[in-house]
Structure formats: structure tokens, C-alpha cells
Structure 1
């Protein structure tokens, strides 16, 4: 089979960048936790009176499983600022069922992201133990990580972005509220919320977060937004009482900065790596236009006939949840799957199709040939093909000749090289972007 030629292309996106992350984190936290005009307060009190941090205060800092840009530096900056205020901070993994729903597995996830005790300058206290702190008006029990519940306060750190499972009518999707509910609630809360499927994370999750806020444990939220280049674009500390109203505004800004594929109609999308560090679903459903949840309609665009997932990121530790969003994969990826970790995650979510194994081919060349063979009425040379590193990295990509015909001359699109043949190594696998 004769494959189409392709060329490397660069997409130009717009969005701000936080140049001095430690300074921004420090300024934001001090603005909320220790304003200059704050009246004095006796140590040990809860509630919303300022200042919220006192000498010797034990403060838990949440750390999630996503591959957030600069997250080790952000957490280090939170630790240093809290120590400046006299507090005794520590980090708790806040990631529901990820890491195989084990304390050691969740610590490993953090370490793979660069979140270590040495770098962040604070102990990591990983435990799956929880305590019940209340009940929602709908009757759902609300749990909190036992280490965080035993602290004097919690700083909730999380990235705000569109969720990969649902669209919220109130603008609460993936962000601080979800971190308080499913992150701090650990595996126990994830099971409670996901037992209701999409209504659980869309409707019950915000109510669980409100109970966490009402506990008085949350000192503030630290919201992180990223631009289309996977750079830190905005960092903002939010007072507890304002989180439910501020997060929808931050979500709208995050959506405006979010990248996307350059065309809506694609015959074959080649994704070099899937993984939990790129998206909770391995591949961001907002990018690929596939949800694959029973009863949830699929997005109208983009319209992709076949998705080929080439490999699994090391940072996923074998959790290949999201492989079910693809149509083809490789034996290389299959052999990296830790089924215990993936199955624990997908069964907790209740979205079983997302862990279904697609057709497995021995090498990239075989997978691409199979996809092109199954394009009805489309000659392989005219196939519309895109290749991306991951759904989180869309600045650089490869496009076939048929796609380039739509892109040539479009503002924000730059050809970064001539058309070339698809290049494979001796085992039939695509060369890397740098080598191709």
C-alpha cells in the first residue's frame, strides 16, 4: 500500500504566560491568607476570619494525578509561602482511584510527575483512609482524606479545565470543586459519586464539594489555568466562599485558551502517546470528539473515522484507561498495561467502554495500513491524516497532503518542513517527530 506524504506543521495559539511562578503563587496566597489589613485572631479557630494561617498550623496541600505544567514548582512555592507564615505544610495525594487505589500507588504517581518530598520541601502523607465529615442534601455521605481532615486547614490546588465526561449547566467541571470532592474524598468518595454515572459527577460532585467547604477546613483554593501551549497561563487564589461562583468564570477562560485540531474532518488520527498525565481519559475527549459513555451523545465535531493510539506514557504507570476511545493500537502498548490499575480506575468510573481493547497490530505500519484499508471509497494517497504527540500537545503535528490543502494560507498555521514519505524504523514503527 502506498501511504500519503505528510509534512510537519505548527499551530500558533494565543494566550498569556506566568513568567515568575513562585512570585505569583506567593502573592496570591498572601493576598488571601494574610492580607495586610487582617485583624489578629487566636490560633485554632476555624471559619473565614483573617488571617487564616497561624504559626504551627498544620496545613495539607492537595496534589492530583494530572500532568499539570510546572506542578512541582507550584507546590514547592505553596509550601514555601506557608512556611513563611509559620505553618507546617504537608502534601496529600488527591486523586480518587488513581494509582491503583493504593497509598503507595498514589505516591508513585506524584513522584512520576516530579512531586517529591525533596523537591517540594514537605512530607507526602499518602493514605487511602477517609473520615466522614457530613452528608449532602440528597443524602450522599461526604468523605475526606484522613490526613487532611486531621490537619488544621487545607489548601486545594487544582487545574481548571473542561471535563472529559460531561458539560455542566452551572460551569463546575474539572477544577477546585472536583478536587475537593473526588480528590480529597479518595477512592471511597469516587465510588459514591461514580455510582450515579454522569449525573454523579455532574450533579452530585458540586454538592459534595459544598459540604467540604462548609466544614471550614479549606483555607483557600489555588486555581491553575493553562494556555494552548501547555504553559501556566494564570494562577489565582480564591477564598473558600467564592470558589463555587468563581470557578465557572475561570472555566470559561480556560475553554477560550484550549487548543484544538486544525480540521474537523479526519480519516485517521495518530496519537503517539495516551496517558493519565495527558488527560483523565488518556485522550482528551474535547479534542478527539469521542465520549463513549452509554446514554451520552457524541460531540458533533471533530469527525474522526479512526484513532490509532501508538503507545502509553510511562507516567501512567500502566493505567491505559482511554484506550477504548481508540480503534487501533500496538502490541507495544498492550504489553505496558497494568490491568489491575486500569480496571480499578474504569470500574470506579463505571464507564467500562473506555477500557475496551481495540484491534491490536504488531507495529505502526500494520496499524496505519489497516486503517487506510478500511476507509470506504478513499484512496490511501488521499487519506486525511493527522499525527500528534498527545491530545495535550497540539502545537506541532503532521498533516497529510489532503489536509494541507485545507490549511494552506490559513492564519495561525505554518508549514515547518517539506512533504516527506512516512518514515519507519526496522521494526515498522514511525520515527519520532525529531527524527522523521
Structure 2
């Protein structure tokens, strides 16, 4: 028996119970109908002229109903007599290649055939202006040559900095439309200055590019669309401030705040830009963001197939598995850190041979006297926090919480012959 096994075999794993966390379930049921009513607002579709070439900028992952929202927008543009096309709007994602970005759109359900419009993908950009600090501001050439631009994105808290504008339409304009060069430029001075540099670049592009309006999406804690608004370009700044505050209130969260060990079944780029959302785990890649629960140790067990080997976020865990590391595409993963200038999420955490030993390692190192009393939480991923597992010692606290329902009593862990737990 190896020294690692000798150290970890005696460590107990607490029995686990299934609970349901309850969040506000407000959502938009008729998305096409709701969005079409939004397009009746002055300053949106009415600004398009027949025959105009309209670039629709889209590309963020993990957005529920994105393909439906994009298709509804494209259809309404056509009805106005304009000619839409799609521009991948995702900075350096997709390996910083046009082909890679088209592949990401395909994963999102957005293709030329499903949308019935062309996709014009290129990494070719032009410098539009410079910020006062000398940073260049870039734009995709296809977008800047269009007669009009519409930007679609979700509003949510960023994972690496705090500011009045974080992830949303403004970020999509400043970083997404800038492709690899634009993303690299805005990140160059680091996240310490992102709250200033990102919106400053967005304001320049909103002045100098023919951006007509944005489509802003807010999701509830169940990963459902709860708000969609069409924002005329002159209203984007003001309204995004308010929508970000709403988004912060609605993000999924762990309702029990102090956790010794957090086990995450899946991480991936389709879950969060950081593989696991730091707003949920409380583990941030920079000192410029904060919030979330008090978690001592994090275990990341596996990588989603949708990530295509991009394991960014693995470095935010304390322990992972050999299986996860074997699925990691180092080149795709490291490209994230090189562009964002934050390499911690791309580091490989302490790697154990399977789930069994990775979880035991976290319990052993979580700095408590009685391992049997470990406050352990297991989640599918950071997007899905409705039903989660908690250790038996947390049940009294869960039962007293008004927004938690205990679904099952505690039971023992089950591992397969390879030492791994079944995952949804």
C-alpha cells in the first residue's frame, strides 16, 4: 500500500443527506413573445433600416435559452427588412481561432443552419482608439463594417473583480468584440484596474461603432431566464447598473455558510468562465473579488465534456483526480491564463488517483479535530444548487432554515470498483 493510501484510508467520510434549497422561481415563460414586446420599445428594432447589414454579437456560454433568444432576435431583424449575420463575440475563447469560436457557437445551438443566417468569424481586428492610460481598444472588423450592431449577453457578477459593471453587455462590447487582441489588451494591466478599464473601453466602442441596442438577460438561481430587456444604446450604462444588482441577488448560493469540505462533481467552461463559479464557492482567483461562503477545502472531481479539455478552474480546487488531469488539454487551458493574466485557475491542484482518495484528502486537511464532525457539502456543479448533499452533522441547521427542505436521511457513500462516485 502506498504512503498516500496509508495516510488516507483511516479518514472517515460522514454520512450524507439530500436537501433542497429554495430560491425565487420567477422566470419568463414565453421567451419569444416577451422578447418581441421588448423590441417594440423605441430605440431598438425601429432604428434598423431595410437592407442594412446587422451584426448580432453573441458567444457567452452557460446562458439558458440563448439559441432561442438569438433566433427570435434574428427573425425580428429580418421582419424589419434588415439583413442580419452573427459575429462570435467571445474574446480569446475557442483557442483564439475563428474555427474554435464557430465550434463554441455550435455547442450553444447556434449554427448557420439553425439560425438561417451566416456566421462571419474572424480574429481580424482594428484599433478603434486608446484609453487615457495607453491601452488600445479593438473591434472585430466584420462588426465595425456593419451598418448596425446588436449585442446579446447575460448580466451577472464577475468572478475576478468587483465594480459597477462586471459581466454583461458592457463587457461583451469591450472584450468580446475585441477578440483575442482586445481581450488581451483590457486584461493587460490586471483585474485591479478592470472596473475602470473595461467600461472605459466599452464607452469608446459605443460612441464609435454603430451599436444600436443590447439584449440583457438575467437568470434566476435555477439557471432559468427571469428577465430579458432590449436596451437602447444610450440606456445600456444606466440600466446595466440596476440589472447587475438584481443578478447578484438572484445567483445560486449555498445557504449554509460555513463548510469544511466542498465536493464539486463537475467543473467546466460551460459552467463558469472559471470552471466553478467563485461567487458560489467563495474561492476567487484574484484579491479584487469577494463574497460567497467560508469554505476550507474544495475537491473538483471531473471535467465536463462540453469543456473540450479546457480545465480552467482546476487550480481553484485543493484536490482533484487523475481522471480530471488526464482529460485536461494543457494548451487550451493555459491560453485562458495567458490572456487574462491570471494563471492560478490553470494550475493543477493536488491530484489523487480517484474520487475516494480525493475526498478523503480534503477531510484530512480541513483543519478540524474530529473528522466525523466534518461539515461536508457535495454539489453537481456551481450552476445547479437546488438539490445538494450535506453531511449528517449539518442536518439540524438545515431543518431550521426556512429555505431548506430535507429530502432524505443520512446515508453512506457509494463508490464503484474504480473508487469513483456516481454523478448526474
Please indicate the TM-score interval, normalised by the length of the shorter structure.
over 0.9
Identify which of 311, 314, 317 aligns with 2:308: 317
Identify which of 63, 71, 76 aligns with 2:71: 76
Does residue 413 in structure 1 map to residue 404 in structure 2? yes
1:48-67 matches, within 5 Å, as 51-67=46-62
1:267-278 matches, within 5 Å, as 267-278=260-271
Q: Give the aligned partner of residue 16 of structure 1.
A: 26
Shift of 1:284: 1.1
Does residue 304 in structure 1 map to residue 295 in structure 2? yes
Q: Give the aligned partner of residue 240 of structure 1.
A: 233
Q: Give the aligned partner of residue 161 of structure 1.
A: 156
Identify which of 317, 330, 340 aligns with 1:339: 330
1:131 & 1:69 partners in 2: Cα distance? Answer: 32
8 Å CA contact 1:275, 1:313 repeated in 2? yes
1:339 & 1:29 partners in 2: Cα distance? Answer: 43
Shift of 1:380: 2.8
The alignment covers a number of residue pairs equal to 414
Does residue 253 in structure 1 map to residue 246 in structure 2? yes
Q: Give the aligned partner of residue 37 of structure 2.
A: 27
Q: Give the aligned partner of residue 280 of structure 2.
A: 287
Does residue 425 in structure 1 map to residue 416 in structure 2? yes
SS at match of 2:56: strand
Q: Give the aligned partner of residue 38 of structure 1.
A: none
What is the CA deviation profile of residues 181-226 of structure 1, one whole-angstrom value per residue up to 9, with x for unaligned ones? 0000111111111110013422111010001110141010100000
Q: Give the aligned partner of residue 354 of structure 1.
A: 345
2:162 & 2:101 partners in 1: Cα distance? Answer: 28
Shift of 1:31: 1.8
2:99 & 2:367 partners in 1: Cα distance? Answer: 48
User: What CA RMSD, in Å, does the superposition of the two structures yield over aligned residues?
Assistant: 1.6
8 Å CA contact 2:139, 2:179 repeated in 1? yes
What is the CA deviation profile of residues 258-299 of structure 1, one whole-angstrom value per residue up to 9, with x for unaligned ones? 221121211110111111111111111111112232xx2674
1:193 & 1:301 partners in 2: Cα distance? Answer: 26
2:102 & 2:375 partners in 1: Cα distance? Answer: 42
Shift of 1:13: 0.3
8 Å CA contact 1:109, 1:315 repeated in 2? no
1:417 & 1:32 partners in 2: Cα distance? Answer: 52
8 Å CA contact 1:67, 1:277 repeated in 2? yes
8 Å CA contact 1:193, 1:200 repeated in 2? no
8 Å CA contact 1:76, 1:120 repeated in 2? yes
Residue ranges of structure 2 left out of the alignment (5+ in a row): 1-9
Does residue 193 in structure 1 map to residue 186 in structure 2? yes
Residue ranges of structure 1 left out of the alignment (5+ in a row): 36-50
8 Å CA contact 1:268, 1:385 repeated in 2? yes
Identify which of 3, 12, 18 aligns with 2:13: 3
State the TM-score, normalizing by the size of structure 2: 0.94
State the TM-score, normalizing by the size of structure 1: 0.92
2:128 & 2:42 partners in 1: Cα distance? Answer: 25
